Amino acid sequence: MSKVHNFSAGPGILPIDVLKQASEACLNFDNMNLSLLEISHRSKNYVAVMDEARALIKELFEVGDEYEVMYLGGGASTQFAMVPYNLLTETGYAAYVNTGVWSSKAIKEAKIIGNTKVIASSEDKKFNYIPKGYEVPNDADYLHITSNNTIYGTQMKSFPKCSVPLVCDMSSDLFSRKVNAKDFALIYAGAQKNIGPAGSTMVMVKKDILGKTGRKMLSMLDYQVHIKGESMYNTPPVFPVYVTMLTLRWLKQHGGISWIEEINQKKADLLYGEIDRNSMFYGTAAKEDRSFMNVCFLLHKPELEPEFDKFWNSLGISGIRGHRDVGGYRASIYNAMPIESVQVLVDAMKEFEKKFA
């Protein structure tokens, strides 16, 4: 079978070694002669998986016991509600920075829970840049940001300094680059971009920010309940957590975050370099805010899109059509994307220019 170069925005590409191990576990997990999909989530074999998956997050983030890690269902979209439910007090307010569709949805959910203020936004230019120079209030219950904007191809290159708890949705660039995790009170991410398959959501929270809302909590929405239950208050997303554990192992074994950050930089430089050089294409995001994970670009002559579509399809390239809100093309180059696949796309763009410029 010929290779497909998978630039899907999510669920995203996974390492081939991880896929092989995961498929084997579906038939015979941990030499039990049972499928991972069949065993009790409370068996010692699976508890060891959950323990390692949680521990690897803290190890890669280089944080200590002041933080707890959970794997929950419901996607990052459920966290849009769980964050304010667990952190927003009945008399206080939450501050949000709006940088795209997902932060807009987070703001919508927070407003249902309590008082919510948008302190900065890039909506005025269709979210093609990251707001800068805004003042962070020192009396908010927390500040919520989105580190990478999958749809619009923008990424925060630095994070706001603030005296209130900093909360970050890192769904599409988690573990793609080094960050100082201790600057954050809570980090959450859907697994399906960089650390696993769809179906589980990682939440890492600093314990001392919890239990201060003054409201009576529903058990399934209470971080403290899930922490006490070690991510197994209810049946967890067993298979997605296992594949996430394998992906985190893969990342650690190859050199960790510094290793993958260097590779991701090279991939982004290669593709953006061609977009800027090529007379047929142009990028949509402000150059200083370009995402290293989701590269959005358009044709100067949109009438040639059908021709370009046929061209890249013929080369085994998949998943680069842009989101409907932006149009054009979006190449998602998550951690497991090899630079060789990026080179195939770059070569396709060069050939297309020769033929149609």
Please determine, for residue 220, whether its predicted confidence score (pLDDT) is greater than 80: yes
Q: What is the pLDDT of residues 39-49, one digit of tens each?
A: 999 999 999 99
One-letter amino acid at 219 equals: S
In percent, the amount of the chain with pLDDT more than 90 equals 98
Please determine, for residue 1, whether its predicted confidence score (pLDDT) is greater than 60: no
**Using alpha carbons only, how large is the chain's radius of gyration in Å?**
21
- At 303 the pLDDT is 97
What is d(CA 240, CA 247) in angstroms, rounded to the nearest whole number? Answer: 10
Please determine, for residue 98, whether its predicted confidence score (pLDDT) is greater than 90: yes
Please determine, for residue 188, whether its predicted confidence score (pLDDT) is greater than 90: yes
Q: Coil, strand or helix: which one is 190?
A: strand
Residue tagged active-site, from 102, 141, 173, 250: 102
Token digits of residue 60: 């890669």
Residue tagged active-site, from 173, 193, 206, 267: 193
Give the strand pairing for 116-121 and 148-149: unpaired
Q: Residue for token digits 């670009």?
A: 297
Please determine, for residue 69, whether its predicted confidence score (pLDDT) is greater than 50: yes
Q: Is 169 a catalytic residue?
A: yes
Residue tagged active-site, from 51, 65, 111, 169: 169
- At 357 the pLDDT is 84
Please determine, for residue 173, whether its predicted confidence score (pLDDT) is greater than 80: yes
- At 195 the pLDDT is 96
Q: What is the pLDDT of residues 250-286, one digit of tens each?
A: 999 999 999 999 999 999 999 999 999 999 999 999 9
Q: Is 139 a catalytic residue?
A: no
SS3 content of the chain, % helix, strand, coil (to 5): 40, 15, 40
- At 2 the pLDDT is 52
Q: Is 141 a catalytic residue?
A: no
Give one DSSP letter per residue of 231-295, joined into a string: T-SS---HHHHHHHHHHHHHHHHTTHHHHHHHHHHHHHHHHHHHHHH-TTEEESS-GGGB-SSEE
Of the candidates 170, 181, 168, which has an alpha carbon nearest to the alpha carbon of residue 67?
Answer: 181
Q: For the chain, which domains are there?
A: 16-253 (3.40.640.10), 255-356 (3.90.1150.10)
One-letter amino acid at 76 equals: A
- At 3 the pLDDT is 78
Q: What is the pLDDT of residues 122-147, one digit of tens each?
A: 999 999 999 999 999 999 999 999 99
